Amino acid sequence: MKLVAGLGNPGREYEGTPHNVGFQVVDLLIEHLGISGFQSKFRSKICRASISGESCLFIKPQTYMNKSGEAVAEFVNFYKIPLEKIVIISDDIDLPPGKVRFRDEGGHGGHNGLRSIIESLGNGNFHRIRFGVGRPADKDNVVGHVLGRWSEAEKKLTRNAFNLALKEMVKFLETSQFQNVSFSVT
C-alpha cells in the first residue's frame, strides 16, 4: 500500500494559499487519475484507488499544518505502510515559485508540517515533494506570506510546476520508482 499525503490547512480561508499546495496537488492528482469523492477517516479527507495492482491512499490531513503528523501516523500505523511507500507533498519557502524538488528523505527544513510528521513517525525516511513558494520580502512575515495570496505570475508558475510534477508522481504510483529530481518552470 502507498500513501500520498498533501499538506495544508482545512477551511475556505486557506484555499489557494501557498501553504496549501499539498492539498492542491492531491486534488490535481486524483482528478488526473479519475478518482472521485473524498471521505473522512482518521482526521483526514481520503480517496482510495488501485494503481498497477497496488492500493493507494490519497489524504489531506484536517489537523492543520502543525499537527499533520498525527493524521499521517494514524494511516501509517493502521495500514502498516512502510516509509518507502509514503510521499508527503508540501510547500517550501527556500525554493522560488515554479521550482519543485523530489527527495527520498531528509529533514524538515523548518517546515512545521514535515516536523510534525517526522516526530510522529519517529523517522524522516519517507519521500517528499516540495513546491517552491519563495521567501517573503519581509523576512519576519513568513506566516503572512504562506497564508497570503499568490500573485498572478506565481499562480501561473505554480500551475506549470504542478503539471510537470504530475508525471513523476504518477510514475511513482505505477512503478514505485522515486527519483531525486529538481526542476523549474519559467
Of 19, 111, 127, 145, the catalytic one is: 19
All domains of the chain in start order, with CATH: 2-184 (3.40.50.1470)
Looking at the DSSP assignment, which residues form a beta bridge with residue 88? 5, 128
Query: CA–CA separation, 37 vs 25, rounded Å?
Result: 15
145 given a catalytic annotation: no
In this prediction the pTM is 0.92
The segment with the largest mean pLDDT, out of 23-32, 135-144, 177-186, is 23-32
pLDDT at 162: 85
119-151 per-position pLDDT tens digit: 999 999 999 999 988 888 777 778 776 777 877
Query: CA–CA separation, 106 vs 68, rounded Å?
Result: 17
Give yes or no for residue 82 having a pLDDT over 90: yes
182 confidence band (pLDDT: 50, 70, 90):
confident
Least confident of 10-24, 49-63, 121-135, 168-182: 168-182
92-103 per-position pLDDT tens digit: 988 888 899 888
Question: Which three cell numbers mark 130?
Answer: 516540495
pLDDT at 172: 87
Give yes or no for residue 109 having a pLDDT over 90: no
